Amino acid sequence: MPPSAFLRPNLPSVIAALAGGVGAAKFLAGLVRSEPPREITAIVNVADDQEFHGLYVCPDIDSVTYTLGGVNNTKLGWGRESETFRTIDELGRFGVANWFRLGDLDLATHIFRTDQLRKGRTLAEVTNHITRSFEIEATLIPATNDRITTVITAAAANGEPHDLAMQEWFVRDRCEPIVRAVHFEGADGASPAPGVLAALADAEIIVICPSNPVISIGPLLAIPGIKDLLADRRDRVVAISPIVAGAPVKGPADLLMRPLGIEVSCFGVAEQYREFCSTVVFDIVDQDQAERIEAVGVRCVSADTMMTSPDVAAKLAGIVVGAMR
Ligand code: GDP
């Protein structure tokens, strides 16, 4: 198929979503059941992207793609369903570090993406091609076509601080080094990918998905232009808290929020976002936080935010959209 077959007409972005990986993927799977998928644009974090074995891997884009494509591995919580790991295991024979588990089907995505990037296509163009190949009707755009990288400065209990890539800290070192600081290399000079600012400017509703506030939403906000536009449209912005009952539902958000002085609660999320977000949807178990959140000028909506199935996620999406209409 020629590349032009993958170009989309300019569809109105009725709902724009800022997305990280797993939490966003679950929410978006509900959103596409509750709202017309063609009216949804997800702007996805790329600061976790990293090269492994010469291949360009985009963990967040792929989590969202596989979930919306209905081919995600629900048992592992990442990667493709019915996956095998023969190739990555075989690399061990050559003494290659293979702690980042890339499955055999997943590798096809990375091989295709890397080859296309080398041929001069942008990450946004390749992402569009890949999502169309999985018959995804919503639009997924990488936040930027430029290279930005989350750098975690961390230290073992008595050790010197040192810089780690996100996957080194998270997967290889199992989040053990204590986080001292986080920055997004390259973000200052990055530009939003084509379509990102238009989607945010035109959207009736802007959703900040339940994603890690520090390393999934943080990098999007660090790209010049995005945060200012959100602030201009604050009354249209709604966030779903990824923190329920004072802890992340999954993943290391607490280990990043606490050392950076962000309270690990839905209040902490609301406080972090309040400059550019008018409404926070938090879990019903956190009802006691409502007064504190409203006191910092953020409207509260409570719902069942534990997305145990796409149906629960669709119900949550309906509440989120309904609260903004
Ligand atoms: P990471 O896994 O922390 O790197 O970050 P992601 O941005 O991929 O998303 C994980 C976030 O999604 C975590 O902070 C989770 O608490 C959140 N999350 C995952 N599943 C759910 C859910 O069912 N409900 C809610 N409210 N949050 C969720």
* 183 within a domain of the structure (yes/no): no
Asked if residue 230 is part of any domain, the answer here is yes
Place of tokens 């290399």: 185
CATH number for the domain spanning 107: value is 3.40.50.10680
Q: Which two tokens stand for residue 126?
A: 């390749």
Reported as a single tens digit per residue, the pLDDT across 92-114 is 999 999 999 999 999 999 999 99
Instruction: Tell me, in angstroms, the distance from the centre of ligand 1 to residue 138's CA.
Output: 21
Atom of ligand 1 nearest to the CA of 170: 4
What mean pLDDT do residues 294-308 have? 98
Closest to 44 (Cα-Cα) out of 249, 227, 220, 221: 220
State if residue 250 touches ligand 1 by the CB under 6 angstroms criterion: yes
**Which residue type is seen at 51?**
E
Q: Is residue 133 part of a domain?
A: yes
Does 248 have pLDDT greater than 60? yes
Ligand 1 near 67 CB (within 6 A):
no
Question: How high does pLDDT run on average in the chain?
Answer: 95
The atom of ligand 1 lying closest to the CA of 63 is: 8
- What share of the chain has pLDDT > 90, as a percent? 94
Ligand 1 centroid to Cα of residue 110, in Å, is 24
- pLDDT exceeds cutoff 70 at 9: no
pTM: 0.96
Query: pLDDT tens digit string along 183-220?
Result: 999 999 999 999 999 999 999 999 999 999 999 999 99
Q: Which atom of ligand 1 is nearest to the CA of 166?
A: 4
Kindly list the distances between the CA atom of residue 148 and the CA atoms of 45, 153, 170, 192, 319, in Å, as whole numbers in the listed order: 10, 16, 18, 11, 33
Provide the pLDDT for residue 180: 96
Residue 2's pLDDT is: 46
Annotate 232-262 with b (16+ C-beta within 10 A) or e (fewer): ebbebbbbbbbbbeeebbebbbbbbbeeeeb
DSSP line for 276-312: T-SEEEEEGGGGGGHHHHHHTT-EEEEE----SSHHH
Write down the pLDDT at residue 10.
54
Locate 254 and state its tokens.
């607490």
Looking at residue 34, what is its pLDDT? 97
Find the 49 Cα to ligand 1 centroid distance in Å: 18
Give the pLDDT band of residue 135 (cuts 50, 70, 90).
Answer: very high
Q: Is 212 in the pocket of ligand 1 (CB under 6 A)?
A: yes
Instruction: Give the pLDDT score at 4.
Output: 43
- Residue whose entry in the numeric block shows the structure tokens 């999320």: 269
Give the structural domain span for 121. 3-146+188-323
Q: Which of 212, 256, 312 has the most ligand 1 atoms within 8 A of CB, as the residue to mutate?
A: 212
The answer to the question of residue 36 being in a domain is yes
Pairing of strands 149-155, 139-142: unpaired
Asked if residue 255 has pLDDT above 70, the reply is yes
1 pLDDT tier (thresholds 50, 70, 90)? very low
Tell me how many domains the chain contains. Answer: 1
In a domain, 237, yes or no: yes
Q: pLDDT class for 157, splitting at 50, 70, 90?
A: confident
Has residue 234 got a pLDDT over 60?
yes
Count of CB atoms situated within 10 Å of the CB of 266: 30
Residue 208 covered by a domain: yes
| Atom 19 of ligand 1, nearest CA residue | 23
> What is d(CA 203, CA 25) in angstroms, rounded to the nearest whole number?
20
Residue nearest to atom 26 of ligand 1 (CA): 242
Q: What ranges in the chain are assigned the alpha helix state H?
A: 22-34, 59-68, 86-91, 104-118, 123-133, 166-167, 196-202, 218-222, 226-232, 253-257, 266-273, 290-295, 310-323
Assess if residue 128 is contained within a domain: yes
Contacts of 36 (CB under 8 A, 6+ apart): 14
Q: What is the pLDDT of residue 12?
A: 65
CA of 36 to the centre of ligand 1 (A): 24
pLDDT at 3 over 70: no
Q: What is the pLDDT of residue 8?
A: 52
Q: Looking at residues 226-238, what average pLDDT do you find?
A: 98
Within-domain flag for 113: yes
pLDDT at 13: 72
Which residues are within 8 A (CB) of 6 and not within 5 positions of it... i.e. 6 or more apart?
125, 128, 129, 132
Banded pLDDT at 156 (limits 50, 70, 90): confident
Nearest Cα residue to atom 12 of ligand 1: 23
Give per-residue pLDDT as tens, 158-179. 788 999 999 999 999 999 999 9
CA 114 to chain centre: 21
